[in-house]
Homo-oligomer: A and B are copies of this chain.
Amino acid sequence: MANMTIGIIGAGRIGQLHAEHIINSSSLRLKGICDLEIAHLKDTSIEHNVPMITTNASMLIEDDEIDAIFICSSTDTHCDYIEKCANAGKHIFCEKPISFSLEQTKAALEKVKEAGVKLQIGFNRRFDTHFRKVYHTIQGGQIGKPHIIKITSRDPEPPNEEYIQSSGGMFFDMTIHDFDMIRYLSPSEVKEVSVATANLIDLRFERHDDVDTAIITLTFEDGSIAVIDNSRKAVYGYDQRIEVFGEKGMVTADNERKSNVQVATQDAVKMDQPKYFFLDRYKDAFQQEIQEFSQAVMNQEALTCTGEDGLQAQRLAIATKKAWKEKRPVLLSEI
């Protein structure tokens, strides 16, 4: 009874996650999945449920039954696949970031535009219940004009060294979600970025010319200000909070905890910790983003999160990296 047929390029952690959600969705069909190495899919539910498992992406891109392609391969392959998919008339869901190069991204977006296909970027947090309610609270005028936007975004533990090396650095890999969230929530675009960074957690970040701790300050065209604090290691769990302070009030989204249970003893009153990491925390958001993508494609509606949003988040990552390297505030107009 599926209404849309999908292929996935890239069967890593995030590719497998989308695969499972598509398999379990009664309105979507996963026809094929492609990965350079497919041995690790043996005996998984993907092997049992997906007709075509291949190392050749063209098999999917050129398949007439497939309506849309999910690009979940490594970042350096994104733009090439976007262009190929666009040329083949496939709608596209591409993981973040689009690329590390503005030129490549712009060229790819141009092809998408020419082909008239849809392109959604994997900023899953826009589809989170809590953050979406923050968005609607602002849109509804309940807190008036935003003055200060604060995002706390901390991972529970650092990734492995291989991941660090190919991640493009914290701003491209981790903060990119926060940059997009800032843009999602603010009525104004960013004008300037400055950053204070630190290497406090793990020598491997420094070794790969990366940081593990940062406070990023962004000023908007309308004069308001945002601040993001990032850490690669919050031992108490995945810390994902938002606070927007405005002329008429403040809206906040607190962490989801593992449970609502409290234990009070002679020593302390203990609550449960935040959910451990993004697979738990954003489980519903990951499902919601593919539902909305397929709805938008099938009903020819506007997307919640477009290629342009991917491009702008990428510009913010580039500006922040520049601010870090040059130890000065960087205007977005420089990028």
Q: Cβ of A265: which chain B residues have Cβ within 8 Å of it?
A: 142-143, 235-236, 248-249
Contact A249 B236, beta carbon cutoff 8 Å: yes
Give the residues from 241 to 275 in chain A that come closer than 8 angstroms, CB to CB, to chain B: 245, 247-266, 268-273
Say if the beta carbon of A204 comes within 8 Å of chain B: no
Q: Cβ of A270: which chain B residues have Cβ within 8 Å of it?
A: 268-271
Say if the beta carbon of A116 comes within 8 Å of chain B: no
Q: Cβ of A194: which chain B residues have Cβ within 8 Å of it?
A: 194, 196, 217, 329
C-alpha spacing A270/B270, complex, angstroms? 4
C-alpha spacing A23/B200, complex, angstroms? 49
Contact B248 A224, beta carbon cutoff 8 Å: no
Report 29 cross-chain contacts, Cβ distance below 8 Å, ordered by A residue: A1-B45, A24-B26, A130-B260, A142-B263, A142-B265, A147-B213, A147-B231, A148-B213, A150-B229, A196-B219, A198-B219, A217-B227, A231-B245, A234-B245, A234-B250, A235-B266, A237-B264, A239-B250, A248-B265, A249-B265, A249-B266, A250-B263, A252-B262, A253-B261, A264-B273, A268-B268, A268-B270, A269-B271, A328-B329
Contacts A130-B260, A198-B225, A217-B227 supplied; 8 other A-B pairs, CB < 8 Å: A24-B24, A148-B213, A235-B248, A236-B249, A236-B264, A236-B269, A249-B264, A255-B260
A interface residues with partner B (beta carbon < 8 Å)? 1, 23-24, 26, 45, 48-49, 129-130, 133-134, 137, 142-143, 145, 147-148, 150, 154, 192, 194, 196, 198-201, 213-215, 217, 219, 223-225, 227, 229, 231, 233-237, 239, 245, 247-266, 268-273, 327-329
- Across the A-B interface, give the 5 residue pairs with the lowest CB-CB distance, nearest first: A249-B265, A236-B264, A254-B260, A268-B270, A269-B271
